[in-house]
Structure 1
Amino acid sequence: MSNQHSAPAPDFSAVPTLVGTRVTLVPLSLEHVPDLQRAVAEGDLWQTWYTRIPGPAEMTDAVQHRLDLNAAGEWVPWAIISHDSGEAVGMTSYLNIRADNRKLEIGSTWLAKSQQRTGINSDAKLLQLTHAFETLGCVAVEFRTHWHNQQSRAAIARLGAKQDGVLRNNDIWRDGTLRDTVVFSIIESEWPTVRLGLTEKVAGRAR
């Protein structure tokens, strides 16, 4: 008989601290609420009709909701901490976690307006994707966004994700309109090339 034991299955519900070049992703907590309230107030981000970003008055409830979902094993929520300021400048999460199929979605992400197109998003996604593919052993990682959110669609494409399709009338939106959801993904065979591209972006050598 062999004395070797199979490696334990990775914990898809764990919220590790992930340290990058420009940001650190730390487990989200209620202590981040004041920073996040200041961050979301830049440009009134929460008023964009095709997003679901909590406003300053909703931030405590929004953070607690993410913590509750983590306790239920459904989400993995992080605060995005800027190395320049030491403050939380946004949030991001794993969601739609399917550990049995080694798949998950990266979503519920937003950044303060001043932090957009600075390399911070690329660094955060590099951290999340590295953990998903290299620690959790994912075979695919999804991204989803509103059809009309052209900025988000372009940002996801710049990561190296490919568009899988459009789910028509997928959600009833908060104002009663219907959302078409655009689905993107990165699969494990594409990860080495995507990782190189993101590393170049974070280093400032690529747009």
Structure 2
Amino acid sequence: MKLSKRILSGQVVELIPLDPSHIGQLIEAVNDGEHWRLWYANVPRPEQMAQYVKNAMEDMALGNIAYAVYCKKNNQIVGTTRFYNVDSANRRAMLGYTWYSASACRSAINSETKLLMLQFLFEEHKAIAVEFRTHFFNRASRAAIERLGAKQDGILRNHQILADGSIRDTVIYSIIASEWPAVKNNLKVRIASKQSDS
């Protein structure tokens, strides 16, 4: 399951493999909401963005793919997301490092981003499972993952020491291949509902 590096395009967003030309718009996006101030979130500060993109691009050499999330309606990049810890032998990948500008939240953007990524994994690359991880205290992230239809597998306690010295308990969720058709239908309904609201 070697992931092909290409643009994933939907009605609302395009997921464009990350490169240095995206840094300026990502800084604008992260300044909208200042989500790096949330102690439990893994969101880069504006001055860290160039290094964040550089690290993500270096990680692509390992078979992972990071994307800039481009909103077609606003003609701007509103965040980033990625496939990481891609396990080709077991046809599994993790989906994360996702953050958006505040103005992009609670729109169809995240739902379609996840639809495109999950469709890419399950239908094009025949993945058997996709995993999501988040901080125990990141209630917004946990709720968003659960709305996708992912099921909680468990909690890794004392999993990571964060930059501020606090210790993270990591909640693990997954979607398996047999669940994908129902998850796909759920996402399509959510996208249609959010588009009708806008």
Compute the displacement of 1:72 (Å).
3.2
1:71 to 61, 68, 74: 61
2:127 is aligned to 138
Listed one character per residue, the Cα deviations across residues 54-91 of structure 1 (whole Å, up to 9, x for unaligned) are 11111011001100110233x21000000111111000
In structure 1, the residue matched to 2:91 is: 102
SS at structure 2 position matched to 1:94? strand
TM-score (norm 2): 0.96
Which SS does the other structure have where 1:180 is aligned? strand
* Cα offsets for 1:23-47 (capped at 9, x unmatched): 0101111101111000000121111
Paired residue secondary structure (1:134): helix
Q: Which of 2, 9, 23 matches 2:13?
A: 23
What secondary structure, in the 3-state scheme, does the structure 1 residue paired with 2:114 have?
helix
Deviation of residue 180 (structure 1)?
A: 0.3
Distance in 1 between residues matched to 2:50 and 2:193, nearest whole Å: 34
CA contact (8 A) 1:25 1:78 kept: yes
1:175 aligns to 2:167 (yes or no)? no
* Shift, 1:52, TM fit: 1.4
Secondary structure in structure 1 of the residue aligned to 2:34: helix
What TM-score results when the alignment is normalised by the length of structure 1? 0.92
Q: 3-state DSSP class of the match of 1:184?
A: strand
Which of 46, 52, 62 aligns to 1:56? It is 46
Displacement after TM superposition at 1:204 (Å): 1.4
- Distance in 2 separating the partners of 1:15 and 1:112: 24
1-side partners of 2:65 and 2:140: how far apart? 24
Give the one of 93, 100, 104 matched to 1:111.
100
Q: Partners in 2 of 1:30 and 1:169 — Cα distance?
A: 34
Runs of 5+ consecutive residues of structure 1 not aligned to the other structure: 1-9
Correspondence for 2:146 among 142, 145, 157? 157
What CA distance in whole angstroms lies between the structure 2 residues aligned with 1:145 and 1:164? 12
Is the CA contact (8 Å cut-off) linking 1:21 and 1:202 kept in structure 2?
no
SS in 2 for 1:191: helix
**What is the number of residues matched between the two proteins?**
196
Aligned amino acid, residue 201 of structure 1: R
- Name the amino acid aligned to 1:161: A
RMSD: 1.4
- How far apart, in 2, do the equivalents of 1:154 and 1:68 lie? 30
- Paired residue for 1:88? 77
CA distance in 2, matches of 1:33, 1:22: 21
Query: Whose Rg is larger?
Result: 1
